[in-house]
């Protein structure tokens, strides 16, 4: 199944081809080389002062089934209906940091998101698909993996090769066959002043 983005302006092919399927092949492992390649890509995302305020926990069904099962245990009632089929999870953690005024520093979250996107784009280059989730029980992840208090789990990326939709509930093929859409640029980008939609060509 290909779902290349229908864009008005030509964009990078990896970006255009990245999408988030619900059905991954649980019987096809992702090689260690490909796992390390995706992690390498994540590490080269932009990072303020090169702090890289994230950690990535790799939970591979084929090399550490126990860790994989712990992630499945953490999934909420929506994601556990499909994400169990992913043979590989990347769990992203961000280091909590505070400003001198005691406010939560948001830059680490920004940098961690960039790292996650780099990983997902590298995956597409390798013929691997990803779907990012925030629907999981953070306390379960903390407890199961003995995560230090100053590290916050913020996303799980289900990862693997595209699976067989005939083996899954039809609801997922219905969802994934819908056309991909995005808001128009005039809605998300302003030109010169706040609220002034950018003019397009």
What is the reported pLDDT for 101?
Answer: 87
Nearest to 113 by CA among 46, 51, 34: 46
Contacts of 178 (CB under 8 A, 6+ apart): none
What is the reported pLDDT for 183?
Answer: 97
Q: Which CATH superfamily is domain 13-164 in?
A: NADH Oxidase (3.40.109.10)
Q: Across the chain, what does the average pLDDT equal?
A: 97
What is the reported pLDDT for 12?
Answer: 97
User: Which stretch of 23-32, 97-106, 179-188 has the lowest confidence by average pLDDT?
Assistant: 97-106
For 162-196, the pLDDT digits (tens) are 999 998 989 999 999 999 999 999 999 999 999 99
Bridge partners (DSSP) of residue 157 are: 90, 132
Cα 35–Cα 85–Cα 60 angle in degrees, nearest 5: 30
The pTM assigned to this predicted structure is 0.95
- Which residues of the chain form beta strands (DSSP E)? 54-60, 88-95, 129-133, 151-160
Nearest to 144 by CA among 81, 57, 78, 39: 57
For 66-85, the pLDDT digits (tens) are 999 999 999 999 999 999 99
Q: Report the residue count for the chain.
A: 201
């Amino acid at each position: 199944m290909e779902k290349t983005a229908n864009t008005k302006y030509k964009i990078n092919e990896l970006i255009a081809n990245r999408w988030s399927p619900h059905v991954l092949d649980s019987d096809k492992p992702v090689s260690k080389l490909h796992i390390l390649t995706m992690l390498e890509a994540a590490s080269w995302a932009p990072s303020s002062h090169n702090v890289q305020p994230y950690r990535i926990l790799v939970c591979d069904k084929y090399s550490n089934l126990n860790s994989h099962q712990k992630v499945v245990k953490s999934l909420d009632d929506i994601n556990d209906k499909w994400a169990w089929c992913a043979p590989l999870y990347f769990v992203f953690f961000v280091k909590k940091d505070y400003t001198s005024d005691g406010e939560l520093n948001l830059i680490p979250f920004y940098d961690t998101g960039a790292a996650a996107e780099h990983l997902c784009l590298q995956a597409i280059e390798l013929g691997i698909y990803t779907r990012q989730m925030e629907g999981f029980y953070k306390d379960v992840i903390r407890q199961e993996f003995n995560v230090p208090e100053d590290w916050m789990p913020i996303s799980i990326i289900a990862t693997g090769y595209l699976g067989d939709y005939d083996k899954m509930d039809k609801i997922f093929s219905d969802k994934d066959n819908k056309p991909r859409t995005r808001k128009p640029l005039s809605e998300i980008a302003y030109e010169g002043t706040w609220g002034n939609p950018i003019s397009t060509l």
